[in-house]
Amino acid sequence: MPKIDVNKVAEILKKNQIDPALLRRVIEEMNLAVQPDPGDEEKPPAIKKQFVFLISDPEGRLPKNDFAGWVLQIPENESPATTKERIYRAAYDFNASKKGRMLPAKTMGDALENVPAKHFKEAEVWVKTKVPVLVVKTDNEIPMDNLKVVKGGRLDDED
């Protein structure tokens, strides 16, 4: 639907000899209608984020078998090395709150599972998995022995 300027409408109404008092009321009402609502203010653009995987390594070395960790996001232009500091900051803020003084976050797991998202948002870290997820190690190779392409486009090791 095309939009028309309030001044253009006023000119058209004047040409058609509308009562000046009525014209003034209509123009005032149109001016109020075209003013933006206070809640419609433009929001800042969304922050571009990158994913980070934080590995749980309480002994200070990676386990030989499966291990667990958390999926997080931080701003795209920030170093992943800042991730732990961001979590610490969110946990410190939470622990300083009334709820945090009652049930403080003492470990990374406590913080990631129990600290409300608002504390993480202030520290610019977004927790995607509150509960640690298992990590499966890979050597980044796909074995090509005994594999061949079959008619349906599938890989199969049978003749």
pLDDT at 120: 96
Residue 19: C-alpha distances to residues 26, 62, 76 (Å): 11, 84, 60
> In whole angstroms, what separates CA 129 from the centre of its chain?
13
pLDDT at 91: 96
User: What global pTM score does this model have?
Assistant: 0.55
Residue 21: C-alpha distances to residues 25, 27, 95, 104 (Å): 6, 10, 63, 67
pLDDT at 73: 93
DSSP helix/strand/coil, 126: strand
> What does the pLDDT profile of the chain (159 residues) look like in tens digits?
677 777 887 888 888 888 888 888 888 888 777 776 666 667 788 888 877 677 666 666 665 666 788 999 999 999 999 999 999 999 999 999 999 999 999 999 999 999 999 999 999 999 999 988 887 666 667 888 766 655 566 555 554
DSSP helix/strand/coil, 52: strand
pLDDT in tens, 11-46: 888 888 888 888 888 888 887 777 766 666 677 888
